[in-house]
Amino acid sequence: MCGIFGYIGHQQALGLLVEGLRRLEYRGYDSTGVALLNDGEISYHRTVGKVGNLQSILPANVPGSQGIAHTRWATHGGVTLENTHPHRSFDGKVTLVHNGIIENYRALSKSLIARGIEMVGETDSEVLVHSIALELAKGVSPETSVRRTLKRVRGTWGLCVMFLEHDLLICARNGSPLIIGTGNGEMFISSDPHPLTSHTQQVVYLEDGDLAVVTKDSLKLSSLQGGSQEANISTLDEDWGESDLGDAPHFMLKEIYEQPDALRQCISGRIDREMGSGRLGGMQLQHNTLIQVPHVRLLGCGTAAIAAEIGQMLIERMARIPAVTHIASEYRNNDPVINPKALYLAVSQSGETADTIAAVKEIKLKGGQVFGVVNVVGSSIARLCGQGVYIHSGPEQSVASTKAFTNMVGALTIFAMQLGRTRHLSKDQGRELIQELQQVPHLMESYLENVGPIDEAVELVSSASSVLYLGRGLSAPVAKEGALKLMELAYIPCLAYPAGEMKHGPMALLEEGSPVVVVAPNDHLKEKTLSAIHECKARGAKIILIHEQGDEIAEEAHVSIPVPKVHPLLTPLLTVLPLQLMAYRTAVLLGKDVDRPRNLAKSVTVE
Ligand code: F6R
């Protein structure tokens, strides 16, 4: 997490840096700062809080055409001004911003203190700036000073370093993303492609172990070990620039309403109506390979893992291939057994989640083939996998994921269909599914035009001390997603359980008036879910029921929220919508910061 932006060129840097930070704010918003070099002096402006707070303390004009900026998600050290980046060396000659974790910072810090250097804050990043300055003081070049320092460091970094006496920036990457945008007599550095699109389409993605010396008109790339290498220039997709709030009050609401179009994007050109199959070119899978797949493993974190669970069920149902979802952070630490013939899918909106990246590396190391199911084009997971499917949600700015979730489910549905057609799914079944899938964006629109009594549900949950979410089959992960959304946005403790499991423990929580959200589309499990509803009502619970339009199960609800009818395998794409809105409106009602929930950040690039 944390966002880095840097500039060196011919324009005044301050406005560019602040705008870059604004676009990266979703990566962390505990504190923020900029440093600018001008006429042999570096000016620093830092504050606790968001980019808006920084703007309010900035002087009208801070000259300088070179600078670095940072928005922080605190890992080591509290949310204080001292811990805010950019950090400055003891002698004032080096300034840096860092994203990542320095694992051996204690040892490094002790040795710096032993040399008489005072540590100003508690961050692990601060050891880097003093160490680089110590090396520089020995008379070596800025590049050598950074290289020597990083060789002593264990951990992860995306690093941008500025020097008082040198007209250049040094960038380095190991585990935390960094991208250099090359312009005409100017260079931009960013943690992700978003802020670059308004300046240049030509970018260089740094790889792990890369070190770059950047001047306003040159980029020299080498490895940490020293060998120089060629910088591969990629061209950015212009779509990534369109991420403004427009008239919407929050990005989350905007993104909820973008879901129909986002799903159209995801489906478009990827289905073969004639054969009743999916056509995911980027998977580069031949039919004879698909036939032999022994099992599928899906990996992700948070919402991505929940989308993966739905994908897992769809793969088992359509293709009859065993499929299992793993939380990436657990999977990689459990010395997993990898079958080279199996398919591994890494699901991630950002493509930068450190735990998912580490799981991909573990699988690849053991000879497994991993496919990315990713939103951000050119992200680390996309490049690491080299094959897979982009979900094409467009930029998702709200920390809470919405349109990426539905598009992950959409892409995994098409994949399951493609896999299924090589096995058990008949052409007619495939065609029926395709027809229904193509209807889903319209159905989403029709629901979003008339969302039902969400506010009645909000009234029940906003005053509750906890909320229970229930569902069965494909609706069990949907219930989980609803619980995650309400919890992360409104800070209300939520539990999600497969409805049948409720009586094995969670039911003890129920008392008169407890809100229970039940997801019960009209599938083969509805009758069983009904039993759970009765059991909850018998204990005085108030049922908020997400069900299909016209279904008589609505009579069981205290608050009944109907969604349009759809094929039973596609229900998650609709039943999740009221849950997203419920979480959104509850957070607004409680006065929470919807797009920037406390303690969270969008792109979790640390373990
Ligand atoms: C929840 C949410 C997170 C992310 C998780 C994985 O709304 O957004 O749970 O889903 O941090 O992130 P990605 O998908 O970028 O790997």
Q: Atom 3 (ligand 1): residue with closest C-alpha? A: 302
CATH 3.40.50.720, applies to 243-449: no
In this prediction, residue 559 has a pLDDT band, given cuts at 50, 70 and 90, of: very high
Question: What's the pLDDT at 243?
Answer: 64
* Average pLDDT rounded to a whole number, residues 60-64: 90
- Non-local (6+) Cβ contacts of 450 within 8 A are none
- Please state the atom number of ligand 1 nearest to the C-alpha of residue 349: 14
- Is it the case that residue 241 has pLDDT exceeding 60? no
User: Residue 61 has what pLDDT?
Assistant: 87
Average model confidence (pLDDT) across the chain? 93
Query: For residue 25, what pLDDT is reported?
Result: 86
Atom of ligand 1 nearest to the CA of 301: 6
pLDDT score of 186 more than 70:
yes
Query: Scanning the structure block, which residue is given the tokens 């802020």?
Result: 195
Tokens of 271: 């289905």
Residue 204: half-sphere exposure toward Cβ, Cα within 13 Å: 27
Pocket test for ligand 1, best of 250, 255, 353 (most atoms within 8 A of CB): 353
pLDDT at 598 over 80: yes
* Mean pLDDT of all residues in 278-301: 88
- Residue 229 pLDDT grade (very low, low, confident, very high; cuts 50, 70, 90): confident
CATH assignment, 451-607:
3.40.50.10490
Residues lining ligand 1, judged by CB closer than 6 Å? Answer: 301-304, 348-350, 353, 356, 400-401, 484, 488, 603-604
- Helix H or strand E segment including 210: strand 210-215
Please report the pLDDT score of residue 287 as a whole number: 79
Helix (H, G, I), strand (E, B) or coil at 326: strand
Contact between 408 and 272 under an 8 Å Cβ cutoff? The reply is no
Is the distance from CB of 85 to CB of 47 less than 8 angstroms? no
- C-alpha 154 – ligand 1 centre gap (Å): 26
Q: pTM for the complete prediction?
A: 0.84
Other beta carbons less than 10 A from residue 561's beta carbon: 25
Statement: residue 605 has pLDDT above 80: no
Encode pLDDT of 413-465 as tens digits.
999 999 999 988 999 999 999 999 999 999 999 999 999 999 999 999 999 99
Length of the chain: 607
Question: Which has the closest alpha carbon to 544: 505, 503, 585, 573?
Answer: 585
What's the CA-to-centroid distance between 91 and ligand 1, angstroms? Answer: 40
| Cβ atoms of 481 and 305 closer than 8 Å | no
In angstroms, what is the span from residue 347 Cα to ligand 1's centroid?
Answer: 10
What spacing in Å lies between the alpha carbon of 483 and ligand 1's midpoint? 14
Distance of CA 318 to the CA centre of its chain: 28
- What would the mean pLDDT of 362-374 be, rounded to a whole number? 95
Question: Distance between CA 319 and CA 340 in Å, rounded?
Answer: 19
CA 578 to ligand 1 center in whole angstroms:
19
Asked if residue 246 has pLDDT above 90, the reply is no
Structure tokens at 440: 């889903």
The yes-or-no verdict on residue 225 having pLDDT over 70 is: yes
CA of 408 to the centre of ligand 1 (A): 12
Closest atom of ligand 1 to 306 CA is 10
Q: Could you tell me which CATH class the domain 3-240 is placed in?
A: alpha beta
Q: Whose CA is nearest to atom 11 of ligand 1?
A: 302
**Ligand 1 pocket test: which of 301, 357, 405, 486 has the largest number of ligand atoms within 8 Å of its C-beta?**
301
Give the per-residue pLDDT at 409. 98
Q: How many CB atoms lie within 10 A of CB 450?
A: 7
Same fold, 243-449 and 451-607: yes
Residue minimizing CA distance to atom 5 of ligand 1: 302
What is the atom index within ligand 1 of the atom nearest the CA of 302? 9
pLDDT value at position 333? 86
- Confirm if 98 and 157 have CB atoms less than 8 A apart: yes
Q: Which residues are the active-site residues?
A: 2, 602
Where in the chain are the domains? 3-240, 243-449, 451-607
